[in-house]
Amino acid sequence: MTSFARAQRLVADAVRSTFAEPVLLHRETGDPQPLRGIFSAAHEAVDVSSGQPVSMVQPLLEVWQDDCTPPPVEGDAVTVRGQRYLIVDVRPDGYGFLRLLLHLDGASP
C-alpha cells in the first residue's frame, strides 16, 4: 500500500467514525445487512435545457466499499433513520466509498 493510500484510508476512517450512522442494506434475498453510512438529502440543481431553473432533493448514502461485499446494486434498498429508500444508482467515488443515489420507497422498512 502506498503512503497516499494509507493517508487516504486514515482520512476515510476518520470521516466514517465522525459522520456515519447505522443503516440497513436490504438485498433481494437474505437478511438485512447492518452498515454505517453518511446520509444526506441535499437540493441538487437539474438542467432540463428549458431555460428554467429546477431543483430537486436527491437522497444520497455514502458507504465504505469494503463493508459491502458484494456491492449493492440498483433495486436493492436501504433503511436510514426509519425510512426505506430504493437504490437507483451506485457510483464508486474512486476513493473507497460507494455513493448510493436513493429514492424514497414509501414501503415500511
Taking the domains of the chain in order of start, what are their residue ranges? 3-104
- Of 9-13, 51-55, 99-103, which gets the smallest average pLDDT? 51-55
Work out the mean pLDDT of the chain and round it to a whole number: 88
In the CATH scheme, what architecture does the domain 3-104 have? Answer: Beta Barrel (2.40)
For residue 10, name the pLDDT band (cuts at 50, 70, 90): confident
Whether residue 104 is predicted with pLDDT greater than 60 in this model: the reply is yes
Residue, of 27 and 96, whose pLDDT is higher: 27
Q: Is the pTM of this model over 0.75?
A: yes
For residue 76, give the C-alpha cell. 436493492
Report the DSSP beta bridge partners of residue 61. 39, 100
Q: Are the beta carbons of 108 and 102 closer than 8 angstroms?
A: no
Residue 16: pLDDT over 60: yes
CA angle at 30 for the pair 104 and 9, rounded to the nearest 5°: 70
Q: What is the pLDDT of residues 30-78, one digit of tens each?
A: 899 999 999 998 777 777 777 777 788 889 999 999 999 899 999 999 9
State the pLDDT at residue 107.
Answer: 59
Which amino acid makes up residue 89? D
What pLDDT is recorded for position 109? 46
Beta carbons within 8 Å of 12's beta carbon, 6+ residues apart: 64, 95, 96, 97
